[in-house]
Amino acid sequence: VGDDPFGPALDEAVRNQPGGGRPVVVRRLASIGPDSGCHVLFVARSPAQTSAEALRAVAGQPVLTVADAGPGTEASAIVFVIQDGHVRFDIHEEVCKAAGLVVSSKLLGLSVSRRRTE
């Protein structure tokens, strides 16, 4: 949802991926509502909806949310961060749990940090 920072790279990446027997469809949206039907949501800057509004729209649903670090992205399951000039990610375990998502220990091990809600 929002501005597309990936361009054609995302379309290329999913073009030949089997998706576990299901088709992988990339949809670019200006805003999102609770009945989006998406499984993975990348939240980018959007003039139509703030990051916080987009994340609230799918809160508690089984949607893996991903965002760049910035205002309003605290409720995202995965947040991209820049560390030592490289793109890394944080995992917010409580958000994953609330969405009914289980994060593998391998993915947790690759994360820069595990953000927890106090």
Contact 2, 43 (CB under 8 A): yes
Name the maximum alpha-carbon separation found in the chain.
41
Helix locations, 59-103, DSSP H: 93-98
Identify the residue with better confidence: 69 or 65.
65
Q: Read off the pTM.
A: 0.84
Identify the residue with better confidence: 71 or 57.
57
Strand partners, 88: 81
**pLDDT tens digits, residue range 81-90?**
888 998 899 9
Rounded distance between C-alpha atoms, residue 78 and residue 80, angstroms = 7
Calculate the average pLDDT of the chain.
Answer: 87
